[in-house]
Amino acid sequence: MLTIKNATPRPTSPHPVLNLGFRVFFLVGSLFCVLTMVAWALLLHGLVDYAGGFNVFFWHAHEMIYGYALAIVAGFLLTAVKTWTNEPMPYGKKLLWVVVPWLVARLCLMGDALVANEWASLGLFGLSMACDMGFWLLTTGFVVQAVWRARQKRQLGIVIMLLLLWLGQGVFYLGVLTQNADWQRLGIYWGFYLIVAVILTIGRRVLPFFIQKGVMMGNDGKPTGVVYEQKNNHWLDKASLVGLVLFVLTELCLPKISVGAMFLVGSAWLVAMVNAWRLVNWYHHGIAQKPLLWSLYGSFWGLVLGFVLLGLSAIKPEWHSLGVHTLAISGIGATTLAMMARVSLGHTGRNIHKPPKGVSMMFFWIAVALICRVGLPLILPNWYMPSLLLAQVAWVISFGLFLLMYAKILTKERLDGLFG
């Protein structure tokens, strides 16, 4: 009898958490998100002294952007690019080589913030810089390699944004080395708005697809009989890109007076209006029946609100922080939380239409964080610091719930027996 052997043996890894990028990065990224927010609360409210070599607010921003957000983006792309290109992505020990530099950088910057010894602080900072730059270079390299092999020119935009994120990280660290606060600020906002751009790009791809699949399938995974098709508008895509590029250039390069102020308002509101139009076009009443749909859909409305507030900041500068934190909490925090909740189920062979019980509470607490950080300071300005503390507590509860519900899912083998 002729026996035909499989030419490609089944992949193996030391532990299921290293089977694919989303597993380990969603797990360690969320855990870090909780720990760094606790540390930030202790530092902000004077319960722990800050000993870092740069501004404590920049430390907080850097760790949320280049620490948490980049980990989740890495986890998503090191998973999704495999689907987009049909090319293998790192797993097992090779994936560990990507995770370790990220982890070392986080530990070093946490140590730098708390250790008062000058030489120890210098060593920790230097190691964190090398590891951060290396981590993102490796991540980008794996994505570029897969895109190049598949000859997918349509992924060029994602690749460019990943390279720009690496440059933004470099600008920040160069600013710290030269003690140039303007460069540090540029690196922070450069990375922040690029993360927003990545989320808008990925959201534009996956949200219509998720909505379409969600309303056509019941919680039992069987068709509902609803026939529904979502398509993106080519002109809306272009208008969103143009508006975002103009906004970022205005925000980072032009003074917020006269022409600069007009450009800021116009570009920010263009991004807001275009994406509001998108969301209206994507709406289906079935969204309200699925927590993994209404959470993602609602978080994108938070992006719209954030750009509206940033446009108004040209008139009321004190609203700039409110706009930034609306983008941060809803556009980045809630969006990544909803994406992780959905992707973790789909890529472990579980029913994406039947998430763990209590998942709605996870999204409830991230909404509370947004209200406390953005809404309460507007209504009760004298309660600013207590409002921040409430927002921090709500954030920790939200991501803590994710860890409680999804840690086992991310560390167990797929239910269908496949590798991934």
Give the three-state DSSP class for 355. Answer: coil
Let me know: does 78 contact 98? Beta carbons within 8 Å. Answer: yes
Non-local (6+) Cβ contacts of 8 within 8 A are none
Give the start-to-end residue ranges of the domains of the chain: 16-179, 210-216+232-412
Say how far apart CA 229 and CA 103 lie, in whole Å: 41
By the 8 A CB rule, do 327 and 306 touch?
yes
Q: Which residues pair with 208 in a beta bridge?
A: none
pLDDT reading at 218 higher than 80: no
Residue 2: the pLDDT is 46
> What number is the average pLDDT over the span 283-301?
92
CA distances from 98 to 72, 132, 156 (A): 13, 10, 22
pLDDT at 170: 97
Euclidean distance between the first and the last CA atom of the chain, given in angstroms as a whole number? 33
Report CA-CA distances (Å) from 19 to 103, 146, 279.
18, 17, 34
Q: Which of the four pLDDT bands, split at 50, 70 and 90, describes residue 255?
A: low
Cα–Cα distance between 299 and 330 in angstroms, integer?
Answer: 5
Reported as a single tens digit per residue, the pLDDT across 13-45 is 889 999 999 999 999 999 999 999 999 999 999
Q: In Å, how far from its chain's centre is CA 271?
A: 19
- Interval 122-181: pLDDT, tens: 889 999 999 999 999 999 999 999 999 988 888 999 999 999 999 999 999 999 999 999
255-264 burial code (b ≥16 CB/10 A, e <16): ebeeeebebb
Question: Can you tell me the distance from the alpha carbon of 25 to that of 27, in angstroms, rounded to the nearest whole number?
Answer: 5
Amino acid at 314: A
**Tens digits of residue pLDDT in 178-214:** 999 999 999 999 999 999 999 999 988 889 888 888 8
Which of these, 202, 188, 200, 330, lies nearest to 251 by C-alpha position?
188
* Local structure of residue 186 (DSSP, 8 states): H
pLDDT of residue 4: 46
pLDDT in tens, 328-385: 999 999 999 999 999 999 999 998 888 998 999 999 999 999 999 999 999 999 999 9
Distance from C-alpha of 334 to C-alpha of 399, rounded to nearest angstrom: 10
Q: What's the token pair of residue 350?
A: 């579980």
Tokens 């948490």 belong to 68
Mean pLDDT, the chain, rounded, equals: 91
Residue 227 pLDDT: 65
Structure tokens at 303: 């992006």
Instruction: Report the C-alpha dihedral over residues 286, 350, 397, 195, rounded to 10 degrees.
Output: -80
